[in-house]
Amino acid sequence: MKLRRVALALAMVLLLTGGAFAQDTIRIGVYLPLTGQNAFGGQLELDGVKMAHEEIPEVMGKKIELIVVDNKSDKVESANAVKRLIEKEKVIAIIGTYGSSLAMAGGEVAEKAGIPVMGTSCTNPLVTQGKKYYFRACFIDPYQGAAAATYAIRELGIKKAAVLVDVSNDYSVGLAGFFKQSFAKLGGEIVSELKYNTGDQDFTAQLTEIISKKPGIMFIPSYFAEGAIIMKQAAELGAEFKIMGGDAMDNPEIVTIGGEAVEGFMHTTFPYDPSMKDMSPLAKQFTENWKKAHPDKDPNVNAALGYDSYLLVIDAIKRAGNAEPEAITKALTETKDFPGVTGNTTINETHDAEKEVGIVMIKEGKKTFIGTVKPEM
């Protein structure tokens, strides 16, 4: 009987100390593609999240513990990653993910569980559409599609455009549609729209058809690897039109893959790039800290969005006054003019970030930030 009482007392002590540990620690989940075709962007975003966590490791006097899960660039794995973070790891909020298709898969799980998620660079409108718990630090594709069209017509003076779209990718299909809609609304003409599928390597037939239509610009809402191959093959075929893409092309590897063929290429992005001449103090500090921590690689907008996403969640927890998911969710909906590396963020009624759109061009083999554009919607 005595041994039984001792065992019971010991169990109570362990339970109480375990509860105290749980109360003193806030667990935030991170799900990103760390392997697979989207690993490059996912790893940069994770590096940004980790850097922000190192700078702000506590909130309300409690230690923040990051729980990172690889969604492997796969929709099923993405849903499983969110399920694990919620059911096994007991996180109170989640950050992620790179890739709209992955975010849509993970978002369904988070929505059912009532756990808030801060999306990093998932720009398809469907990610947050009808969702109470999904937010994002990035602008959405209708906004950047309109920005690309506005820049092409107003700044470049182009009246005819062609579009080459990956029909197996939600991001590509969505962004292509918004570019076409805005380009036509502004008085431009889409002279050709051709398709391909993720993983294709030969674009000769599509490019030959596009060249025959003599557009002033070709819009390719691709990911960087395929986009670079498309540009290389276009150059080999003698294409003379300008080429423009979306934020998924923001990757230094396009120069490695495409070489001289990517010279003059432009893409929409968030208003942050290491080449910017006029940075905010926060952006300057982020760039300096990044170069110290990662001297072997430059930061890009994905790293900055990962950083900002973490700060947005921490800010919401502070304003909520506690780490309960519902309170954090409410605070996120009230986010207004939050200063970040990628500009000031206001979360609108559809849980999307309102911020400027930047334009980057490849000049002499290097990314050069050439300014911002306000889209005509």
CATH number, domain at 292? Answer: 3.40.50.2300
240 and 291 assigned to the same domain: no
More confident residue, 277 or 191: 191
Q: Is residue 306 part of a domain?
A: yes
On whether both 93 and 146 belong to a single domain, the answer is no
How far apart are the C-alpha atoms of 359 and 267, rounded to whole Å? 6
The position carrying tokens 């206001």 is 346
Which residues, 6+ apart, have CB-to-CB distance to 138 below 8 Å? 119, 120, 121, 122, 123, 247, 270, 305, 342, 353
Look at residues 245, 269, 293 and tell me which one is the last residue of a structural domain: 269
**Tens of pLDDT, residues 294-303:** 999 888 899 9
- Domain boundary at 269, 303, 318, which? 269
Q: How many domains does the chain have?
A: 2
Assess whether 169 and 220 both reside in one domain: yes
Domain membership flag for residue 2: no
- What's the whole-number mean pLDDT along residues 202-211? 98
23 pLDDT exceeds 70?
no
d(CA 263, CA 147): 21
**Same domain (yes/no): 227, 119:** no
Supply the pLDDT for residue 2: 44
The mean pLDDT value for 108-115 works out to 98
Instruction: Quickly state the pLDDT bin for 19 (edges 50, 70, 90).
Output: very low
pLDDT at 24: 87
Instruction: Provide the pLDDT for residue 66.
Output: 98
75/119 same-domain check: yes
User: What pLDDT score does 5 carry?
Assistant: 46
- What's the burial of 240, exposed, middle or buried (CB within 10 Å: 0-12/13-18/19+)? exposed
**Are residues 115 and 152 located together in one domain of the fold?**
no
Kindly state whether residue 17 falls inside one of the protein's structural domains: no
DSSP element (H, E) containing 58: strand 58-59
Residue 3 is which amino acid?
L
pLDDT of 48 over the 80 cut: yes
16-25, 136-145, 152-161, range with the lowest pLDDT: 16-25
Final residue before a domain boundary, out of 215, 242, 269? 269
Together in a domain, 349 and 333: yes
| Residue in the block written with tokens 């988070």 | 110
Tell me whether residue 362 is in a domain.
no
Q: Which domain holds residue 243?
A: 142-269
Whether 153 and 260 share a structural domain: yes
**Residues 310 and 205 both lie in one domain:** no
Do 238 and 328 belong to one domain? no
Whether 375 is covered by a domain: the verdict is no
If asked whether residues 261 and 146 sit together in one domain, one would say yes
CA 300 to chain centre: 11
For residue 59, list its beta bridge partners: 62
106-110, 134-138, 168-172, 338-342: which range is least confident on average? 168-172
User: b/e per residue, 165-202, with b = 16+ CB within 10 A?
Assistant: bbeebbbbbbbbbbbbbbbeebebebbbbbebeeeeee
Structural domain includes residue 196: yes
Residue 97 has pLDDT above 70, yes or no: yes
Over residues 200-221, mean pLDDT: 98
Lowest mean pLDDT, pick from 21-35, 46-60, 79-93, 242-256: 21-35
- Residue 259's pLDDT is 95
In a domain, 276, yes or no: no
User: Quick one: CA dihedral 360, 171, 145, 182, positive or negative?
Assistant: positive
DSSP-assigned states of every residue in 266-324: EEEE-S--TT-SS--HHHHHHHHHHHHH-TTS---HHHHHHHHHHHHHHHHHHHHTS--
Q: Is 90 exceeded by the pLDDT of residue 9?
A: no
- Mean predicted lDDT score pLDDT of the chain: 92
Question: Could you tell me if 147 and 118 lie in one domain?
Answer: no
pLDDT of 293 above 60:
yes
Residue 191 lies in a domain: yes
